[in-house]
Amino acid sequence: MSRRRRNATSGPAATNAAVFGEVLKHFREAAGFTQEELATKIPCDRSQVARVEAGTRVPQESFARQCDELLQTGGVLLRLWGRIDWYPEVQHPDWFERRAEMDAKALSVHEYQIHAMPGLLQTPDYAHALFARRIASVAEVEDRVRARMSRQRRFLVVNGPLYMAVLDESCLRNVVGSPAVMRDQCAHLLTVGQLPNIRIQIAPADRPDIDRPDTSLSLIALPDGHGWVYSESLDRGHFHDDPAVYARHSQTYDVLRADALSARESAALITEAMEGYGDDEAARTQRGDLDQEQLQRRKRRQLHRSGAHLDEEQLQRPRRRGLHRNSPRYPRRRPRP
């Protein structure tokens, strides 16, 4: 890891995050909302509200704006959010430092991503789950998440640099963390996709005619007029500024964007994926209860038609298949015509 930067775990950054959390908590309680109720209205997980209030999670600009509207603060939270230097010191892997420096001054970024969400669009929970797969140290995971979030701030604002992202549908379907993490990630895509400087398009899996690059890549335009092609292999970044290489990949990317779903169609597909991840355990349990109730109703109808008798214990007993195969079978009584 580079030692030129380090993550601040105390001092002004931590204090500012804590102050923002205290102000949010004050307005939430004054409005009579619990953390759960505020999270439902945003919408997000309750844990997100709890961590922002505790000063352990950096909120997005959209989060501050929504809280202002819901809590009727007169814009206090958004103004405070804009004044805080959330990432005064961050640490990137040595091989990624150069890319992070480009993001800090890029005029535009055009990106194609496969398998996982691009770093500029990840939620903290998604990034945490992604890093935790390969990094054992909890402290290092937190450092990497903070560093990744630090790259996003200048893009996820109304007057931010142009950011065009084409995501392979696999980014929506590959589960990182949990269904809840994926649901929030999809919701985040829908939110930031409404910013005037950001467009998100999906290359659907059922379109084999789309000419997709073999790997994820970024086209980065810098203020000095240089254009860079960036791609990654395992723990290594690759940079090319040859004008011929940049022009070739730019043409490929333009064709890809033209063939992918439009931003509106992509939002519909993202919404569909998000709703699928909303089918959590509670919903499955409820659906299972309904299935069991319908099964009992069918048994009662059969009972009424056949004139046979089943007691309540038999109605409640789950159906068993493949058991006692050697036991004798008795013909069921059927109603006579």
Q: Average pLDDT for residues 155-176, to the nearest whole number? A: 95
How high is the pLDDT of residue 237?
Answer: 82
Q: Which range has the worst mean pLDDT, 13-17, 152-156, 268-272, 314-318?
A: 314-318
Q: Average pLDDT for residues 147-172, to the nearest whole number? A: 93
Most confident of the ranges 32-46, 86-100, 164-178, 234-248: 164-178
Q: What DSSP string runs through 259-312?
A: HSPPHHHHHHHHHHHHHHHT--HHHHHHHHHHHHHHHHHHHHHHHHHH-----H
Q: At what angle do helices 61-71 and 12-30 cross, to 10 degrees?
A: 30
Regarding predicted confidence, which is higher, 17 or 243? Answer: 243
Taking the C-alpha atoms of residue 90 and residue 297, their distance in angstroms, rounded to an integer, is: 61
Give me the residue spans of the domains in the chain: 12-83, 94-277
How high is the pLDDT of residue 3?
Answer: 38
Per DSSP, the three-state class of 165 is strand
Taking the C-alpha atoms of residue 303 and residue 297, their distance in angstroms, rounded to an integer, is: 10
Taking the C-alpha atoms of residue 205 and residue 168, their distance in angstroms, rounded to an integer, is: 7
Tokens of 76: 């206090």
pLDDT tens column, 31-55: 999 999 999 999 888 888 998 898 8
Taking the C-alpha atoms of residue 220 and residue 242, their distance in angstroms, rounded to an integer, is: 13
Residue 115 has pLDDT above 90, yes or no: yes
In angstroms and rounded to an integer, the radius of gyration of the C-alpha atoms of the chain is 26
Instruction: Give the percent of the chain with pLDDT over 90.
Output: 53
Which distant-in-sequence residues (6+ apart) come within 8 Å of 88 by Cβ? 8, 12, 13
* Size of the chain, expressed as the number of residues it contains: 337
- Strand pairing of 108-113 and 162-168? parallel
Regarding predicted confidence, which is higher, 248 or 313? Answer: 248
Q: Which range has the worst mean pLDDT, 169-183, 258-272, 293-307?
A: 293-307
Find out whether 172 and 186 touch, Cβ atoms under 8 Å.
yes
Look up the CATH number of domain 12-83.
1.10.260.40
Q: Which range has the worst mean pLDDT, 57-61, 81-85, 267-271, 279-283?
A: 279-283
CA 132 → CA 67, 84, 129, distances in Å?
30, 28, 5
| CB burial string 108-147: b at 16+ within 10 A, e below | ebbbbbbebbbbbbbbbbbbbbbbbeeeeeeeebbbbbbb
What mean pLDDT value characterizes the chain? Answer: 81
pLDDT tens column, 277-330: 986 444 444 445 545 555 565 656 565 555 554 454 454 444 443 334 444 444
12-83 and 94-277 share one fold: no
How high is the pLDDT of residue 306?
Answer: 56
Confidence of residue 12 (pLDDT cuts 50, 70, 90): very low
Regarding predicted confidence, which is higher, 321 or 18? Answer: 18
How high is the pLDDT of residue 108?
Answer: 97
How high is the pLDDT of residue 85?
Answer: 67
Tokens of 109: 């970024």
Q: Specify the CATH number for 94-277; select among 3.40.50, 3.30.70, 3.30.870, 3.30.300.
A: 3.30.870
Regarding predicted confidence, which is higher, 335 or 202? Answer: 202
Regarding predicted confidence, which is higher, 313 or 167? Answer: 167
Confidence of residue 181 (pLDDT cuts 50, 70, 90): very high
How high is the pLDDT of residue 94?
Answer: 63
Model pTM?
A: 0.63
Taking the C-alpha atoms of residue 38 and residue 23, their distance in angstroms, rounded to an integer, is: 14
pLDDT tens column, 49-72: 998 898 877 788 888 999 999 999
